[in-house]
Structure 1
Amino acid sequence: MNWEQLLSPKRSRGSSQRHSGSADLRSEFEKDYHRIIGSASFRRLQDKTQVFPLDKSDFIRTRLTHSLEVSSLAKSLGQNIAENILTYKKDPSFTPQMKEDICSILQCAGLIHDIGNPPFGHFGEVAIREWFERNLPLLTYRGRPVDEVLTEQMKQDFYHFEGNAQALRLVTKLHFLVDENGMNLTYALLNTIVKYPVSSLEIDEACGDIKRKKMGYYLADEEMFRRIEKETGTNGCRHPLTFILEAADDIAYKTADIEDAFVKGFISYHVLMEELKKLKNIKNNNKIVFDPAGKLEELYRRGVEKQVDHPEEYAVKNWIVRVQGFLISCATFGFTSNYEAIMQGKYPADLFCGTFAEELMELLGDVAMRRVFSTRQIYLMELVEAGILDFLMDSFVRAVIHYDEDDSALNSIDRRLVYFISSNYKDAYHYHARGKGESEKLYLRLLLVTDFICGMTDSYAKRLYQELKAIL
């Protein structure tokens, strides 16, 4: 892989090239940024869950604030890594303009990396996957079981439903405003958000290569994915910037989950201190590089000396900032020290693997799982969320089974349910279903439901559920 091709500014619809005397001096990647910021899908992230759904606190993160944090961290990492490539001449063809483009791409990628996620956070993905596992074998179409009509890859797409694949679908097809090209973003940006460049038939969690952990694109979007990878030259490999985006996401959510959990009362200063003491001091040549517990204690003492009202809160929030700085340094090292393997498409792990940060990242994830996600309060919320999503899936999947084929097969309730599906999604369905066979059209109708539900905010999903159930 080479940077000139990896940073392709081309788009599906083509670009409005810069002309002499033009007032618009933005690069193609800067134009991407403004397209994203102005989109309805990006705005909806303000009412989508990060961890705590429908939370009344204005401190707790939403998908929007999380995405802004990832965008900022990704850009910072891009600056560090690109500067390292330039300074140490790791690649003779690498230019200062490429550094600028990398930062712009990563800033945009951070904004849209979660744009395809359904309501209610990652549990929403689980609920939709499990709905298909339970119900797809029971559905019938013209007297035949649906899972006999669909091809194996079509079925596996639903059994492995994935927010990352949905993000690619949303930005390339579902913003049906100007035409069928969606947001019409640059190929470099689109490839950066594809964390898993494999189909649902190629998933292999046991192989040890991170790129095959999940599905990266649906069968319906394979043609677009092939165009993207051909244009950028990745050819089945992860785009190098994807590693940086993933590291920024990991830093953002693993530190934010701890901070939000502290504010919500799931984790106290003393609990966090006890957890951090499980880690050994992070040393290099017998010199302490970072002491997580010691730094937290130091910040607490500083808060006491400053006579702040809540020294525990002062310590935890400032500790989060220090940890993020340390993790940025480690991710930078993880990329630059594995530069050749990453550029050859042979690096199988994340950027923290083998660095000083590896154990700390594992601990933060484990603490959040045990102290937050595995608690009665979260489990209760998730059961409520599953009930909402199950009802919506039951209702709308039943309604679209015969949509667009045999109007007489739709009863009055089904016709009214189809009415509620956004015209944008229905327009995209009609465009892409044109000339397709029976199984492909049925597959696209099922995707129409997941497209609609993934586009919902938490509040809208809850409100629509209540209205359809006549809960006043």
Structure 2
Amino acid sequence: MTKLSWNKLLTTGRIGTNSDEDARNAFQRDFDRIIFSSAFKRLQSKTQVFPLPEADFIHTRMTHSLEAGCVGRSLGYLVWKKLNENAIDIGSSTWTDFEGAVSAACLCHDIGNPPFGHSGETAIAEYFLKHRTDFMSLEGITDDNFKDFLYFDGNAMGFNILTHTLVNRSSRPGGMGLTAGVIAAFIKYPWFSSEAPLKKGKFSCFRNDEIYFKDAMTSCGLAEESKILRHPLSFLVEASDDICYKIMDLEDAYRLGIIPFFQLEELFMSTIGTSSSPSNYRLIIDEKEKAAYLRAKTISVLIDQLSDCFIENYNEIMDGTYSKALTSVIPCSDALSVIQKIEIDKVYSFRKVIEIETAGFEVIHGLLEVFIDAILNNSHRSKKIRKLIPASYMYSDDERIDRYMDILYIIRYIAGMTDKFAIETFRTMRGITLPSY
């Protein structure tokens, strides 16, 4: 195949309708649209790893996303710089295009994640697996589109949030109206749920959003007859996320007393190697400041290695044959694997994490049961519950398309909840607590 073109990959054409330009470039406008959106603001009260943190220094989905955006910006710029240094043709694309597109895609990479972290995704999928027989008899539910629920993925929910305008909210199509370049860079798994069983259960687009998926990928020159290619910058978005969650989860674990400082120091030093400055490090007295210094140095080393890795694998990335995560092939990949193993053994298995994630299963299952039952039935109770669902997430009887869309909207409503709001709603629906009069 012909290699991908950067002029197409960084197209500024928008999903939905275009609008007049202003002083910002197209990708800066995307970044601003995302950061001012209500969906992004709700990430402040969504779990990263340590659910419902009481300490203000522990990461939420929002702080993780902001940090991933910063890393992505640096990584995008460094890749642009090294492409130029190697005299590689990037068309008319500028450094602001590269860093802007990557940082915007990083900023929204978790925007579709439900409450309670990744366990929330699993909870939604398991609910539909448990009740599969009941749903398959409903109007509009097919073996194909039911996989959207059966393999529920926050990536696909994120794509829906970015590109799909809710009913009764606006007649302007295209969701946030982001550029095709940023939308395509956001897509980590360029396939539908029908392929999820063969792809570790992962996918990035619901069947209902196929038109916008194909629009974005075609605009960027990524749509071939037999398959859809991955946007080259999506590898940088993935790498930015990998860096931030692996490094920052470790620092959070240290601050919560789950791992001792000497272990954090040893792990970060194994990544930094000779790039650290011993004289500067010795000047730092406070242990937490030492941890912050080591974390910053570690991220800097990883960004440099990842940009080199992108250049080294450039031809395969640009012809669509490259498939590995960049973090798995850089010189520090073994050190990152050690960090990840420790996080699996000590951090993600921390008792409080497991307890609240387990409770999250009950909350999400309970909310799905209550709200889906309300839209499928016409009992007195169901009518009352429907009045509690925002109009943006419900079709009127004359607008209704089918039950697939009804259920998808309820999932989007629940997935958009913060951890606290989900818990409060669950308690109210169950009669555990009552609102004050």
Q: Same fold, TM exceeding 0.5?
A: yes
- The answer to whether the Cα contact below 8 Å between 2:232 and 2:318 also exists between their aligned partners in 1 is yes
Q: Give distance in 2, aligned partners of 1:275 and 1:12.
A: 43
Farther off after superposition, 340-349 or 267-276: 267-276
1:280-327 Cα deviation digits (max 9, x unpaired): x67xxxxxx7269xx69x69x945x65x2x43x333222111111111
Q: Give distance in 2, aligned partners of 1:162 and 1:98.
A: 33
Identity %: 30
Structure 2 counterpart of 1:255, from 240, 247, 257: 247
- The answer to whether the Cα contact below 8 Å between 1:258 and 1:368 also exists between their aligned partners in 2 is yes
Q: Give distance in 2, aligned partners of 1:302 and 1:187.
A: 44
1:46-93 Cα deviation digits (max 9, x unpaired): 1111112221111111111111101110010000001111121112x4
- Give, in angstroms, the shift of residue 146 of structure 1: 3.1
Q: Give distance in 1, aligned partners of 2:36 and 2:171.
A: 14
Q: Give distance in 2, aligned partners of 1:187 and 1:421.
A: 32
Equivalent residue, structure 2, for 1:159: 150
- The answer to whether the Cα contact below 8 Å between 1:86 and 1:94 also exists between their aligned partners in 2 is no
Using structure 1 for the length normalisation, give the TM-score.
0.84
Aligned length: 424
Q: Does 1:8 align with 2:1?
A: no
Q: Give distance in 2, aligned partners of 1:354 and 1:435.
A: 49
- Give, in angstroms, the shift of residue 173 of structure 1: 1.0
Q: Give distance in 1, aligned partners of 2:183 and 2:198.
A: 24
Distance 1:164 1:430, change over 3 A: farther
Q: Give distance in 1, aligned partners of 2:204 and 2:100.
A: 23
Matches within 5 A, 1:446-457: 446-457=407-418
- The answer to whether the Cα contact below 8 Å between 1:187 and 1:228 also exists between their aligned partners in 2 is yes
- Give, in angstroms, the shift of residue 15 of structure 1: 2.2
Distance 1:434 1:346, change over 3 A: farther
1:87-134 Cα deviation digits (max 9, x unpaired): 21112x433x43221211112112111111101111111111111111
Structure 2 counterpart of 1:225, from 197, 202, 213: 213
- The answer to whether the Cα contact below 8 Å between 2:138 and 2:403 also exists between their aligned partners in 1 is no
RMSD: 2.5
Matches within 5 A, 1:9-408: 9-18=12-21, 24-91=22-89, 93-95=90-92, 97-137=93-133, 139=134, 145-146=136-137, 150-174=141-165, 176-177=169-170, 179-203=172-196, 214-235=202-223, 236-272=228-264, 290=273, 302=281, 306=284, 308=285, 310-311=286-287, 313-401=288-376
- The answer to whether the Cα contact below 8 Å between 1:85 and 1:94 also exists between their aligned partners in 2 is no
Q: Give distance in 2, aligned partners of 1:194 and 1:102.
A: 16
Q: Give distance in 1, aligned partners of 2:140 and 2:28.
A: 44
- Which amino acid counterpart does residue 452 of structure 1 have in structure 2? Y
Equivalent residue, structure 2, for 1:286: none
Between the two structures, name the one with larger relative contact order (CA 8 Å, sep ≥ 6).
2
Using structure 2 for the length normalisation, give the TM-score.
0.90
- The answer to whether the Cα contact below 8 Å between 1:334 and 1:353 also exists between their aligned partners in 2 is no
1:1-32 Cα deviation digits (max 9, x unpaired): 111111111123332344xxxxx322222222
Ranges in structure 1 where 5+ consecutive residues have no aligned partner: 19-23, 207-211, 283-288, 402-408
Q: Where does structure 1 differ by over 6 angstroms across 4 or more consecutive aligned residues? A: 274-277
- Give, in angstroms, the shift of residue 444 of structure 1: 1.1
Distance 1:270 1:25, change over 3 A: closer
Q: Flag the structure with larger Rg.
A: 1
- Give, in angstroms, the shift of residue 179 of structure 1: 2.1
- Which amino acid counterpart does residue 26 of structure 1 have in structure 2? R
Distance 1:72 1:173, change over 3 A: same
- Give, in angstroms, the shift of residue 379 of structure 1: 1.3
- Which amino acid counterpart does residue 11 of structure 1 have in structure 2? R
Ranges in structure 2 where 5+ consecutive residues have no aligned partner: none
- Give, in angstroms, the shift of residue 435 of structure 1: 8.1
Secondary structure, counterpart of 1:177 in structure 2: coil
Q: Give distance in 1, aligned partners of 2:14 and 2:140.
A: 35
Q: Give distance in 1, aligned partners of 2:15 and 2:361.
A: 37
Q: Give distance in 2, aligned partners of 1:435 and 1:56.
A: 42
Q: Give distance in 2, aligned partners of 1:377 and 1:37.
A: 30
Farther off after superposition, 100-109 or 256-265: 100-109
- Give, in angstroms, the shift of residue 464 of structure 1: 0.6
- Which amino acid counterpart does residue 408 of structure 2 have in structure 1? L
